[in-house]
Structure 1
């Protein structure tokens, strides 16, 4: 657990940045829903495709599996792709925020549903677990991506000699500066991934078995 705590501590600014990016997207999607409608059409189409798939098989266990599978894939993709392309988690968090804001606005305007009720009963019951997991995955992807850039181009790092800076020979640099950090980060990432999978599983159970009941009772 020490490696996991150290990883979270190091990446904390990026985790808060993930919350901010998603929050800004949500506000913009809600307030300027018409402006961003075309931009988030692919996301809405994907959500509608999943909704149709679930409508064809309304079994809550199947619904739970589909939601869990999609969320885990999204979280792992942000972390893995973010290592090499740090802007991918930024884009994904922002677009998902836009989609949430747009859905809340659309529900209020087109379906005459209270956005507050929809937020409280339709999103937060599972969102209190799902959203932090997504924030952590996105923030971690950004953190790892910027750390890779630092490892490549930072002063005294792998490619710094190309820019006139000195570093130790490649063998020493790899053994003393890279491998110990890499091992520690990998152990932390394995533990973090297991925690995220567990949290997303619980969130999927809530979204499949509890959220629909709350929407039926308090939103419609």
Structure 2
């Protein structure tokens, strides 16, 4: 029930939602890259908030442990919540993908405009943990989008029989477990490898 192969099959069954999830993330990155006006102010607030938290964690008695605990709890709680909050017609997973993509797009574009080393940012700051963290978040949001689609189908078209819901809820439980595992691995990498590379 909770094997990695079951998780893989479950992902395949929501492949359309997964493609939409990837598309929304890419749109978010593009929007962040060209962001101006109110969007730029929103992204700056996000980055300032992250910067403030980062400074506090670095000033703690054990920065690496503090980073690990914060990153893991923050990402895993959001990752699981976004699956089930998708029941609200998939609106929140879509917004979550757009905002997270926009933050990355805006950050990379800011580095380019400032003439800073973008290669170092991507290879040292994003790639080590992001290669696991970003797909995990995209998959979580895909399940959230599918949840919203299922709810809408049940309400509007009555096409989803009651017998199919237990199967989907089992999928969300399996997904939640593997999302947390993937984000645990990503948090370990981010608080050790990424932390060391950027120090």
TM-score (norm 1): 0.80
Q: Distance in 2 between matches of 1:80 and 1:92?
A: 13
Instruction: Give the 3 Å change call, closer, same or farther, for CA 5–129 of structure 1 in structure 2.
Output: closer
TM-score (norm 2): 0.87
Moved more, 122-131 or 207-216: 207-216
Q: CA deviation at 1:103?
A: 1.4
Given that 1:60 and 1:208 are in contact with CA atoms closer than 8 Å, whether structure 2 keeps it comes out as yes
Corresponding position of 1:171: none
Q: CA deviation at 1:108?
A: 3.4
Residue segments in structure 1 that go unaligned for 5+ positions in a row: 158-176
Q: CA deviation at 1:64?
A: 0.4
Corresponding position of 1:41: 44
Asked if 1:87 corresponds to 2:70, the answer is no
1:16-59 alpha-carbon deviations (Å, 9 max, x no partner):
211111112112312x2444311323422331232133122152
Q: How does 1:1-220 map to 2 (within 5 A)?
A: 1=1, 4-30=7-33, 32-35=34-37, 36-57=39-60, 58-110=62-114, 112-155=115-158, 177-178=161-162, 180-216=163-199
Q: Which has the larger radius of gyration?
A: 1
Aligned Cα root-mean-square deviation (Å): 2.0
Q: Distance in 2 between matches of 1:5 and 1:45?
A: 37
Moved more, 139-148 or 73-82: 73-82
Q: Distance in 2 between matches of 1:85 and 1:52?
A: 37
Q: CA deviation at 1:15?
A: 1.0
Given that 1:25 and 1:97 are in contact with CA atoms closer than 8 Å, whether structure 2 keeps it comes out as yes
Q: How many corresponding residue pairs? A: 194
